[in-house]
Structure formats: C-alpha cells, structure tokens
Structure 1
Amino acid sequence: MPPTTDFTVDFDGTVAVVTGASGALGSATVDRFRAAGATVCAVDVVAPDDEDSSLEPDADTHFYEADLTDEDDVERLVSAIVDDHGRIDHLCNIAGTWRGGDPIEETDLTEFEMLVDINLKTAFLASKHALPHLRESGGSIVSVSARSSLEGGEGDGPYRITKAGVRLLTETLAEENRGAVRANCVMPSVIDTPMNREMMPDADHGSWVDPAEIADVMTFLCSDGAAVTSGAAVPVYGEA
C-alpha cells in the first residue's frame, strides 16, 4: 500500500538543505520539502544526470555538488547556498552508506574510516557550518541514524558505531543549541531501496520502510508541529 500523508506542512519562504539528495531517501525528502513549498538545495557527489541518481530537480530545486567529507568544500557549499538564497532554515543530514563485513579484529582500517567519513563526518561538518545560519532563522536539523545503532551486533559493527555517533551528535547539538536550533534524528530499520533489494533479494521486503514515509517524518520534525521536540531519536521501523 502506498504511503499517505495526513498532515499539512507549509515551508513557503524557507530554504532546506538535503544532503545525500541523489539517493532513494534523499530524493524522497527533496520531493517532500518541495511539495511543502520550500526552496530545496540538494547536495550530493552524484549529479542528477548520473544513472545512479534518483533525483529529479525542478525550478524549486537547486543542485550543489560537494564532498561533505572535506571541510573546505562544506564551508564553500554553505557560503554558496546563503549567497544564492539568503538563508538556511532546515538541514537534513541524509548522506550515508551501509557496509556489512568482518568482525572488528578482521576489519580493515580503510573500511572503518570510510564509514566514519560518510556516515558521521558528513553530518558533523554540515551541521557545524550550517549552525550560524540556522540560529538566525530559528531552524532545525534532522539526521539519519539507524535502529541498529541501539545495540552491538555481528557483521556490521562499524556501521552501527557510526550511526550511534549520529544519534549522539544529534543529542549534543540539541543541548548546545537549546532554544535556538532544534536537532532530531530518525532511526530507520531497513529502507526499501533498489540497492537494498539487490543486496538482500530473499528478505521480507514488505516489512521494510518506504523512503517517502521516512521523508514524511523528517519533514514533520522540521515543522512547527514539532516545535517542542529536540534531541529525539525517532523510530521509523515500519513493520519490521
């Protein structure tokens, strides 16, 4: 059954920055903010015309190519967005990836560092440089953690570690910016994406969460309806 949206959000006049915008969840979030009236700045290393991109920009969506693991590039990106649009109201930290693999004692350092860079460092740097502008607008940050971040497990320890870091980053941002900028995160179980279906063809896909449903929750957390919510890690498990 397709996801339904039962609430109305009005983001007219606001500017949303969505990282990881070319992926399944990122592009769904771009669509949701765009439908709510926001000017959307879609950020990724994968351009919209790439065959791996799910993003379909329109007149209200502006694509920015940036390496979010490079602080100089993030600083340049934020300056360009503010120069182009005058403000930042919402930051959605979606850039990320999943890797399974070996036990910790057999995990290559390069594999661990890659997950730290893509899952945690990107959220840290984007938040760091967007914060001054979010304070001016009384804005909000929503990041993507994971259900698996709540406990250790075999086979994907580095992934779980980085997603736990995103959750703690969220709580820290909420504490440090209380009354100025709200920070929350969502914790998906398995997201129903083409990549996940390819990697797990025999799984119960019906229990997975549709990206559009997660995008609805992220949009709500940036809205006035969640004005009293900060520092939360919201489960988005679907039927899993």
Structure 2
Amino acid sequence: MSKRLEGKVAIVTGAGTGIGEAIAQKFAREGAKVLVNGLPTDPIEEVVETIEENGGNAIAYQGDVSEELQAESCVKAAIDKYGRLDILVNNAGVFLAVAETQDYPIEAFDKTITMNIRSAFLMTKYALPHLQKSRGNIVSAGSEAGFNGVAQNSPYGGTKGWMHAFMKGVAVEQAKHGVRA
C-alpha cells in the first residue's frame, strides 16, 4: 500500500505536544520526512524518537520560530538534511490567558501576537522559495475563534482571524508558483 506523503519533506512547528505532535506523527506514518520544531522546553526529541521507532524519518529543531534567525535556521535545517521542502505546517501558537479585554495582561497580548502571528509569517517567508521549487503546500492552524471571536481571549481570536486572512492572501499570490495555502 502506497503512502500518500512518500518522498515529501515537511516542517511542523509547535510539534512537541498536542495537535502539532499528532500532525508530525501522521505525516511520518504517511511517508514524509519530518522536521519536528518546538521550543527549548518542548519534548521534540521524544516525538522524533517515537517517529523513528515506528519506522519514520524525522529530525528535531529546537528553537523559537517567532525569532527571525530561528525561523530561517529551521527552514535551512530541513533543506540541509533532506534537500527539499514540500510542506510547511504553521502550528506553533499559544492561548495564554482567560480574561476580559480590559483585564487582559499586555505581556500575554504581546506574546500571543508574537507566537501566533510572527512565527507563521516568518516561517512562511523563509519556506516559500523552497515551496515554489517543489510546488508545495502550506497548512496553517486556524480556529473557529478566527471567524467568531472568543470571549475572554479576544487577542487569540484576533490572531486566528489574521491567520485565515493571511493564508488567503498567500494562496492567491503564490498560485502562480503552484504553491497551495
């Protein structure tokens, strides 16, 4: 039985736990070579070990991809190891506080914007030249909160609304290169 992602290379951000980990595991089962990204505190090495124990191929990249040099280095690590990039999954993000807008901590607001928006922008920016070559795909974690908002965490809903609009714009501009977003 053929695997749907055989021969493909994917980067999954925020892949140390939860949805990102599940995506990385599934992609590996479907034959993709996976770069598993997470923050220094995330158990990405364990995710890589599990993928390899199940016959998959993965490497870890520990770094905060909301920082420009880390995002660029993350993409470079995938290219250096596997020679190509076919899929970018922008999954890194946070849901930090539960508070009405007037009480929402500014530090949590700033970190939410950085982790949910800046990381997706930077990873997309640095992945695109490689995705254009492979006519690849970008998958970005949105949320119903991006369409409907979310009470007691309006900044989170705002970042997910941005993600939906950002990906629509990227899809239109990159269609001429065969990149799907």
* Both proteins in one fold, TM over 0.5: yes
Offset at residue 82 of structure 1 (A): 0.7
- 5, 11, 20: which is aligned to 2:14? 20
Percent of aligned pairs sharing the same letter = 30
CA 1:166/1:84 → structure 2, altered by over 3 Å: closer, same or farther?
same
Offset at residue 176 of structure 1 (A): 1.3
Q: Which amino acid aligns with 2:60?
A: F
Superposed, 1:109-120 pairs within 5 Å as 109-120=106-117
Offset at residue 54 of structure 1 (A): 9.7
Offset at residue 146 of structure 1 (A): 0.5
**Other-structure match for 2:31:** 37
Q: Does 1:132 find its partner at 2:129?
A: yes
Offset at residue 129 of structure 1 (A): 0.4
Offset at residue 104 of structure 1 (A): 2.0
2:94·2:112 contact (CA, 8 Å) conserved in 1? yes
CA 1:49/1:42 → structure 2, altered by over 3 Å: closer, same or farther?
closer
SS at structure 2 position matched to 1:178: helix
**Other-structure match for 1:77:** 74
Superposed, 1:1-240 pairs within 5 Å as 10-45=4-39, 46-48=42-44, 56-58=50-52, 60-180=57-177, 181-183=179-181
Offset at residue 150 of structure 1 (A): 0.9
Offset at residue 155 of structure 1 (A): 0.5
Point out where structure 2 has 5 or more consecutive residues left out of the alignment. none
Point out where structure 1 has 5 or more consecutive residues left out of the alignment. 1-7, 184-240
SS at structure 2 position matched to 1:136: helix
Distance in 2 of aligned mates of 1:166 and 1:32: 23
Using structure 1 for the length normalisation, give the TM-score: 0.68
Per-residue CA shift, 1:12-39, capped at 9, x if unaligned? 1110111111111111111111111111
Offset at residue 103 of structure 1 (A): 2.2
Offset at residue 48 of structure 1 (A): 3.1
CA 1:13/1:152 → structure 2, altered by over 3 Å: closer, same or farther?
closer
CA 1:165/1:34 → structure 2, altered by over 3 Å: closer, same or farther?
same
Q: How many residues end up aligned between the 2 structures?
A: 174
Q: Which amino acid aligns with 2:128?
A: L
Distance in 2 of aligned mates of 1:122 and 1:179: 24
2:97·2:104 contact (CA, 8 Å) conserved in 1? no
2:36·2:48 contact (CA, 8 Å) conserved in 1? no
SS at structure 2 position matched to 1:96: coil
1:69·1:121 contact (CA, 8 Å) conserved in 2? yes
Moved more, 53-62 or 171-180: 53-62
Aligned-residue CA RMSD in angstroms?
A: 1.9
Using structure 2 for the length normalisation, give the TM-score: 0.88
CA 1:174/1:9 → structure 2, altered by over 3 Å: closer, same or farther?
farther
1:23·1:55 contact (CA, 8 Å) conserved in 2? no
